Amino acid sequence: MLPPLSPEERRHSRSLAGHIRAQLAAAGGWLSFERFMELALYAPGLGYYSAGSVKIGVGGDFVTAPEVSDLFNRCVARQCAEILTTTGGEILELGAGTGRMAAVILNALAAQGVLPERYAILEVSADLAARQRARLAQLPAQLRERVVWLERLPASPVRGVMLANEVADALPCRRFTWRDGAVRELGVALAAGSGEEISFREQSAAADAALLRACEGLLASLEGELPQGYASEVCLRVQPWIASLSECLARGVLLLCDYGLPRRHYYHRERASGTLRCHFKQRAHADPYINVGVQDITAWVDFTRIAEAALAANLTVSGFATQAAFLLAAGLEGLVAEADDGAPRARLAGEARRLVMPEEMGEAFKFMALTRGYDSPLSGFALQDLRHLL
How far is it, in rounded angstroms, from Cα 274 to Cα 290? Answer: 18
Rule CB under 6 A: is residue 33 a binding residue for ligand SAM? no
Nearer to ligand SAM, 95 or 262 (CB): 95
- Residue 38: which of 247, 297, 269 has the closest Cα? 297
For ligand SAM, the closer of residues 67 and 185 by Cβ is: 67
Binding of ligand SAM by 60 (CB under 6 A): no
Nearer to ligand SAM, 41 or 335 (CB): 41
**Which residues on adjacent β-strands are paired with residue 302?**
261
CB of 183 to ligand SAM, least distance (A): 26
Site map 63..102 versus ligand SAM, x via CB under 6 A: -x-xx--------------------------xxxx-----
Which are the contacts of 72, defined by CB distance < 8 A and separation ≥ 6? 65, 66, 101, 327, 355
Positive or negative CA dihedral for 370, 375, 376, 382? positive
- Are 78 and 107 a contacting pair, CB within 8 Å? no
Q: Does 367 bind ligand SAM (CB under 6 A)?
A: no
Question: Residue 156: which residues within 8 A CB-CB, separation 6 or more?
Answer: none
Exactly one of 105, 109, 170, 211 binds ligand SAM (CB under 6 A); which one? 170
| Phi-psi region at 255: left, alpha or beta (left = phi > 0; alpha = psi -120 to 50) | beta
Residue nearest to ligand SAM (CB): 95
Binding of residue 306 to ligand SAM (CB under 6 A): no
Candidate residues 167, 242, 253, 335; the one interacting with ligand SAM per rule CB under 6 A: 167
User: Is residue 166 near ligand SAM by the rule CB under 6 A?
Assistant: yes
Q: Is residue 165 a contact point for ligand SAM (CB under 6 A)?
A: yes
State phi, psi for 147 to the nearest 5 degrees: -90, 130
What DSSP assignment string belongs to 313-372? TT-EEEEEEEHHHHHHHTTHHHHHHHSPTTHHHHHHHHHHHHHH-TTTTTTTEEEEEEEE
Q: Which of residues 164 and 348 has its CB atom nearest to ligand SAM in the complex?
A: 164
Q: From CA 43, how far away is CA 51, in angstroms rounded?
A: 9
Under the criterion CB under 6 A, does residue 125 sit at the interface with ligand SAM? Answer: yes
Out of 43, 51, 56, 226, which residue is the one contacting ligand SAM (CB under 6 A)?
56
| Residues lying near ligand SAM in the complex (CB under 6 A) | 49, 56, 64, 66-67, 94-97, 122-125, 128, 165-167, 170
